Structure 1
Amino acid sequence: MKTRAVRSVLRSRSTVEGAGVHLKRVLGPHEAHLADPFILLDDFQSMNPSDYIAGFPWHPHRGIETATYMVRGTIEHGDNIGNNGMIDSGDVQWMTAGSGILHQEMPKPYAGNMQGFQLWVNLPASKKMMEPRYRDIKAEQIPTYPASDGVDVKIIAGNLNGIRGPVRDLVVDIEYLDVALEGDREFVHEIDPEYSCIAYVFEGDGIFSEGKPDRVSHGHVAFFGDGGDIRVKSGKAGARFLLISGRPIREPIAWGGPIVMNRQSELDQAFDELRNGTFIKSDRGSNPKQLNLSHTHER
């Protein structure tokens, strides 16, 4: 199986979401076709609480799964089907919006460089109206595999050398790894040849292919072509990156802010239901009498 080459490298871009959260958009509507089934990846980090403390007040989702991974810091979460709690450093929250959910994510002040990621995974048409569900994964449940000297891999979802991540029973087959390399180290990992694959570097830099030197630096995302192995060599200062791969859905996308469907008519229906109070389908949740959608841009 040939080593995957880097097809393109893009720089994350600054934007503001929620009620005023400053973040880096790694993957969004313009790049979603390059990373199917992944449609959004945000990197939110700051030393200044005023950049994030306004958070993401109550807002809806339908047709996707969201995965929030906190590297450092704390976010308080609550939703309309009875889930609430804290997502602390190293924790993951995996939420399947399915037919519809309302939730909020409110960061807490952190003495240092708060950082976290939110990934959106598209749901296939057959599962877009499934029952919503929520999973809270604590840091101690996420295994770290010492792939070699100076190479550590946190396995959030998927399988690495027989070690499985705690996020299982997924609608779409994916693998989600947090890979940390010390300086001048190599990492080789076999990816299912049918999967699409991206790597987002959030510390340091590295070369992400053989032959042609595709150096990917901090704040950039690499989109890989077909193949099997991913080969990475870190720079002198090391590298840390998210390695995310999954089986493409290959379905049309109709995207309207926090709702992702297949057809525009389905999207229009979802927003009509938000306005008339029939959006929530689950027996466990209730529809809001009034919902301010002014802050629901992408998230």
Structure 2
Amino acid sequence: MSRNLSTARAMPKLVERKVFSRTRGSEQGPITRLMSPSDLGQYLKPFVFLDHVDAPSSITSSDNLHPHSGIATVTVLTEGNLRFDMGDWGTGLLDYGGVEWMRAGSGIWHGGEYRPASAPRFKAFQLWVALPAALEASAPEWQFVEASGIPTVGPARLIVGAYQGKTSPVRAFNGLNYLLVTLAPGETWVYETPIGHEVGWLSLSHGSIVGEGRYKAGDMIAFDRSDAAIPFQAGPEGATFVLGSAVPHPHELLLGYYSVHTSDEALKAGEARIAEVRHLYV
């Protein structure tokens, strides 16, 4: 259940919720690592990992096969486009507002899903989400939804979850919202946080948000634990950002190299399954 969305011409301040942390992450070539399970992911779980990619589309021509278990990955482009071809899992174009949801579950290998389309460069966020205990050993699945299939709520694309009477077609779990928002210069918008979604954060891809301070492209902001509303006002160049909110993940994070689980037993099972199925992908 959520409250009604509202907009206003002026905001008294940037957020009603206090900022717990602000980071610009660490750059690794075209990838900026904003959050990992061993740092900010401990506070923002079930959101445990976030990369921002700003790269030539040709980078996708190099396959990067690697495994996962216990998590789901969510890939969203904020600029440019890429082609995907995963056979029975889907074929099409990923651009602004579309999404790849990959539930690793019990264990899967992936890499090389994308190839260049018409845009020479792209910007994207890749997010990892820790799965609930009941799903961490589930069968893996992929889901690609092009932009035309993603519902909008005001200036937001509802990538994952349910909000203001709309529901994303992505087959995620309850208590998790992920939105892609673009505001025009000076535009205001309020995210009426669903009750119980005490975990909240955002990361800016383009432009800036103004208020008591100014947050700009490249910033990731983690909010305090609360389900209070979050008002936004775009800067003079507008703003594009991703926004996540969720019910807190109740488990400690048990970490493998590419895996996140809720217990030592689940982690051992996930890593064993990764080794067992490797021959199916390599």
What TM-score, normalized to structure 2? 0.82
Q: Distance in 2 between matches of 1:121 and 1:37?
A: 5
Aligned to 2:256: 256
User: Helix, strand or coil for the counterpart of 1:140?
Assistant: helix
Aligned to 2:10: none
Tell whether the 8 Å contact from 1:54 to 1:106 is kept in structure 2 after alignment. Answer: no
Q: How does 1:268-287 map to 2 (within 5 A)?
A: 268-275=268-275, 278=276, 280=277, 287=278
User: Helix, strand or coil for the counterpart of 2:129?
Assistant: strand
Q: How many residues align?
A: 263
Q: How does 1:59-138 map to 2 (within 5 A)?
A: 59-71=66-78, 72-76=80-84, 78=86, 83=89, 85-90=91-96, 91-109=98-116, 111-138=119-146
Alpha-carbon displacement from aligned partner over 1:158-200 (angstroms, at most 9, x marks no partner): 3343233222x42242111111111112111211242211111
Structure 1 runs (4+) greater than 6 angstroms displaced: none
User: What one-letter code is carried by the residue in structure 2 that aligns with 1:44?
Assistant: V
Q: How does 1:133-152 map to 2 (within 5 A)?
A: 133-145=141-153, 147=154, 152=155
Distance 1:274 1:189, change over 3 A: closer
CA-based RMSD:
2.6
Tell whether the 8 Å contact from 1:179 to 1:240 is kept in structure 2 after alignment. Answer: yes
Are 2:221 and 1:219 aligned? no
Aligned to 1:36: 45
Aligned to 1:283: none
| Residue from 196, 207, 227 that aligns with 1:204 | 207
User: What one-letter code is carried by the residue in structure 2 that aligns with 1:159?
Assistant: A
User: What one-letter code is carried by the residue in structure 1 that aligns with 2:156?
Assistant: V
Are 2:190 and 1:194 aligned? no
Structure 2 unaligned segments of length 5 or more: list them: 4-14
Q: Distance in 1 between matches of 2:281 and 2:167?
A: 42
Aligned to 1:164: 167
Tell whether the 8 Å contact from 2:180 to 2:240 is kept in structure 1 after alignment. Answer: yes
Tell whether the 8 Å contact from 1:77 to 1:104 is kept in structure 2 after alignment. Answer: no
Alpha-carbon displacement from aligned partner over 1:206-247 (angstroms, at most 9, x marks no partner): 136xxxx14211100111112410111111111111111111
Are 2:183 and 1:184 aligned? no
Q: Distance in 2 between matches of 1:289 and 1:133?
A: 15
Structure 1 unaligned segments of length 5 or more: list them: 17-21, 281-286, 292-299
User: Helix, strand or coil for the counterpart of 2:221?
Assistant: strand
Tell whether the 8 Å contact from 1:198 to 1:222 is kept in structure 2 after alignment. Answer: yes
Deviation at 1:31, TM superposition (A): 1.1
| Residue from 144, 156, 164 that aligns with 1:153 | 156
Deviation at 1:12, TM superposition (A): 2.8
* Stretch moving more, 102-111 or 135-144: 102-111
Give the share of equivalent positions with the same residue, in percent: 26
